Amino acid sequence: MSWWGKLVGGAFGFMLGGPLGAVLGAALGHKFDKGLEGLPDDVIGWDGGDRERVQTAFFTATFSVMGNVSKADGLVSSSEIRLAEAVMSQMSLSAEMRQTAIRLFNEGKADDFPLDDVLEQFRRECHRRQTLIQMFMEIQLQAAYADGDMNGAEESLLLHICECLNISEFTFRRLEQMIRAERHYTGAQQGRRRAAQPQRIDLDDAYAILNITESTSDKDVKRAYRRLMSQHHPDKLVAKGLPEEMMKLAAQKTDEIRKAYERVKEARGMR
């Protein structure tokens, strides 16, 4: 049975306590709260590597923190709401899961949302799975860029989130560059579809997505490609704790990385 099936089925042996459990409990309602009555507040059934537990933590943190990021500038824009809905659509969530994701997003917007506590527990639940934490950060960056640009308040909040998750500013800037390039490519791709033109990634975007430059050697281009494909491989991420429903997000990223690599290879005459 999946993590979600166990969750709604009342199998709380692997479930979360602490701030993440409180946020999820609020999103799921009184029945969930009652089911957790009498269980410890900090950690429930933790074995340091339970995949279903990590999947639950990832799902809970992703949408609640996304809600918090969306209100960093004091106003949740329609673009940011659409971004959250787009992520849910890409995941092909069931109606019940979608409603929970929306409620988590709204929990994150609350003035008393315990951001630092949620992030600290999320980091511990991930058990040093850095590729999983980076995937989480990429989704939050996408939320920040949902309305076209990232403002100063959003940038400050995201840097604070990175600090809480032990992500360096260097890594943050690299991820930011990648997300900007992906958004530019996606926007151009949609425009070309409307104009019935061939879809082709810009070379500058391809370099940015691969986090390399024109001066990068062919050998290092191949290394960068293999590293990114390994980091975003859907099966590997799910094995580390990415919810199965988010496999489509990872698959989309590997597709963009592959297209970027093919564009760079073509421009360089690489084999």
Q: Which two tokens stand for residue 258?
A: 């592959």
- Please check the confidence at residue 196 and state whether its pLDDT lies above 50: no
Question: What percentage of residues in the chain have a pLDDT greater than 90?
Answer: 47
Domain of 178 in residue numbering reads as 3-268
- Please check the confidence at residue 121 and state whether its pLDDT lies above 80: yes
Give the contacts of 234 (CB within 8 A, at least 6 positions apart): 242, 247, 250, 251, 254
Mean pLDDT taken over the chain: 83
- Please check the confidence at residue 45 and state whether its pLDDT lies above 50: no
Per mean pLDDT, which of 13-27, 47-61, 97-111 is the most reliable?
Answer: 97-111
pLDDT average, residue stretch 80-104 = 84
The per-residue pLDDT for 11 is 53
Q: pLDDT digit string (tens) for 198-237?
A: 567 889 999 999 999 999 999 999 999 999 999 999 899 9
The per-residue pLDDT for 34 is 44
- Please check the confidence at residue 118 and state whether its pLDDT lies above 70: yes
Give the contacts of 210 (CB within 8 A, at least 6 positions apart): 221, 224, 225, 228, 257, 260, 261, 264
pLDDT average, residue stretch 246-268 = 92
Q: Which two tokens stand for residue 115?
A: 């951001």
Q: What is the dihedral of CA 99, 42, 119, 60, to 10 degrees?
A: -10
- Please check the confidence at residue 188 and state whether its pLDDT lies above 50: no
Beta partners for residue 43, in sequence order: 16
Q: Which two tokens stand for residue 48?
A: 């340091």
- Please check the confidence at residue 191 and state whether its pLDDT lies above 50: no
pTM of the model: 0.83
- The helix or strand, by DSSP H or E, that contains position 218, with its residue range, turns out to be helix 218-231
- Angle (CA) 261-191-63 rounded to 5° is 75
What is the total count of domains within the chain?
Answer: 1
